[in-house]
Amino acid sequence: MKIPNHIAIILDGNGRWAKSKGMPRNYGHVKGCDNLEYICEVAKELGVKYLTVYAFSTENWKRSREEVEGLMRLFRNYLKKCIKISKKNNMRVRIIGDPTAFDQDIQDSIRELEEFSKDFDDLHFQIALNYGSRDEICRAVNRMLKDQAEGRLTGPVTEETISGYLDTGEIPDPDLLIRTSGELRLSNFLLWQLAYTEFYFTPVPWPDFKKDELLKAIGKYNERDRRYGGVKEE
């Protein structure tokens, strides 16, 4: 079975999963976070080189104060704990999105984790935090304008130029996108990067998405005929 080089996952369904158990939404996020830790290990063991997950969107600030506070607590704890996890998994961690909206201590933890893990390279793990694809593209264009005005960028702008200015920089585009919990949309995730990616949607909520489910998604990916618009060689 061919293992995709880069898997992207929209982590969805924590809230509904918790509700189905009569628990508060933040309990679902805690279990979702545990599952993220577990799936990183599974991905590494399977030989996945890049894993990118959508953990908090630019829209997620609109959730209740209680839920946002719960998520911030979770991010705080996880970013600290992730120092050890990155070492254990030989995993480089990068945050994509705009971190400037977070409290200073969270921004400091992000910098510390990225710096600490920068030479690990079994698994490259990207966490999208305060991420929105349109916002990412706007930030990239504004940086391009600034670099052009200051002489660091000269035209013509190519697809590679734009890819390079995105938060995902030199990270290759995803081969497989998974969205858990039944919704069939992209929710402003990696719009540019997913141009040729295979999509897999499953009704399984994120906290229940275990190794067997990941293997099922990879199995489906293997059944697909990836042609990139070209003619298939018979």
Output 40 or 144, the one with its CB closest to ligand FPP: 40
Least separation in angstroms between residue 17's CB and ligand FPP is: 6
Output 152 or 185, the one with its CB closest to ligand FPP: 185
Least separation in angstroms between residue 129's CB and ligand FPP is: 7
Q: Cβ distance 131 to 97 under 8 Å?
A: yes
Adjacency order of strands within the sheet including 198-201: 91-96, 123-131, 50-57, 6-10, 176-179, 198-201
Residue nearest to ligand FPP (CB): 15
Q: How far is CA 15 from CA 12, 18, 79, 207, in A?
A: 8, 5, 21, 10
| Known catalytic residue at 12 | yes
Which entry of 5, 60, 188, 222 is annotated as an active-site residue? Answer: 60
Output 16 or 220, the one with its CB closest to ligand FPP: 16
Site of interaction with ligand FPP (CB under 6 A): 11-16, 25, 29, 32-33, 36, 55, 60, 74-75, 78, 127, 181, 206
Q: Cβ distance 199 to 189 under 8 Å?
A: no
- Please, what sign has the CA dihedral across residues 26, 27, 33, 35? negative
Least separation in angstroms between residue 157's CB and ligand FPP is: 33
Comparing C-alpha atoms, which of 142, 155, 141, 182 is closest to residue 15? 182
DSSP 86-101: HHHTTEEEEEES-GGG
Q: Cβ distance 187 to 57 under 8 Å?
A: yes
Least separation in angstroms between residue 92's CB and ligand FPP is: 15
Output 70 or 144, the one with its CB closest to ligand FPP: 70
Least separation in angstroms between residue 3's CB and ligand FPP is: 23
3-state DSSP assignment of residue 74: helix
> How many angstroms separate the CA atoms of 152 and 145, rounded?
10
Output 33 or 51, the one with its CB closest to ligand FPP: 33
| Known catalytic residue at 60 | yes
The catalytic site residues sit at 12, 60
